[in-house]
Amino acid sequence: MKLYAEAPRLRTRQLLTDAAVALWVLLWVRFGFLVDALVNRLAEPSRSLESAGVAFGRRLDAAGAEVADVPAIGDALEQPFSEAATAGRELARVAQAQQRDISTLALVISLIVAGFAIVYVLGRYLPSRVRWMRAATAASRLRLDSDDLYIFALRAIATRPWHELRRVTPDPAGAFSAGDYEALAALELSALGLRTDAGFAARRT
């Protein structure tokens, strides 16, 4: 797979663009973590409430255990403490549920914020980048494996704008029909950022 062009100018532009896209992705990943951390701060009151509920329940359980030892009325005295301790533990469970909800919300928000920015840029950049790599790889293999520039000239006739074709030869159709493929093939190879000397040298030998 050919990742970068052979032409210095196009190769430099590709490298810089790839680096910019990678930096964009890293920045938005970092921002996503930041958003997640900020939203999770909303769970601080719930964490405090959970700790208070657990501590409250434990203290009341201990107090209930002490009054339970009182002769005759111990069980009656323990019941209010036990009920209050149960309420404290229930409060802690509610606080835990709130923390889970906030954590889920933080994850969803961070994924939406960072994911949208990343997918938007990659969706606009990757398709053309992959198309270039596939075309350049196929062209490079053909250029190295064949001494016939017909395919490149035909591709130029089919895909390049007319003004570009006229710039390399006054009569593109006539040149192609006459078997004069070098100028047209050079145009197509140059558009892909590939050197033309390898294919031309093979054809001339």
So where are the chain's domains?
1-138, 146-205
Tokens describing residue 122:
């990659």
Burial status of residue 74 (CB atoms within 10 A of its CB: 0-12, 13-18, 19 or more): middle
* DSSP string computed for 166-185: HHH-S-HHHHHHTT--HHHH
Please state the pTM of the whole predicted model.
Answer: 0.67
Closest by Cα among 97, 104, 196, 112 to 149: 196
Pair 122, 21: CB distance under 8 Å: yes
Measured CA to CA, the distance from residue 131 to residue 137 in angstroms comes to 10
Dump pLDDT digits (tens) for 137-159: 877 776 654 456 777 777 788 88
Query: What six digits make up the tokens of 155?
Result: 């591709």
pLDDT, mean of residues 98-110: 92
Average pLDDT over residues 108-113: 94
| pLDDT value for 65 | 67
d(CA 11, CA 5): 5
The span from the CA of 203 to the CA of 184, in Å, is: 14
Going by the DSSP 8-state scheme, the letter that residue 41 receives in this structure is G
* pLDDT given at position 184: 81
Q: Are 81 and 67 in contact (CB under 8 A)?
A: yes
d(CA 124, CA 22): 14
Q: Is the model's pLDDT at 29 over the cut of 90?
A: yes
Query: What is the predicted pLDDT for the residue at 205?
Result: 47
User: CA nearest 152: which of 122, 191, 121?
Assistant: 191
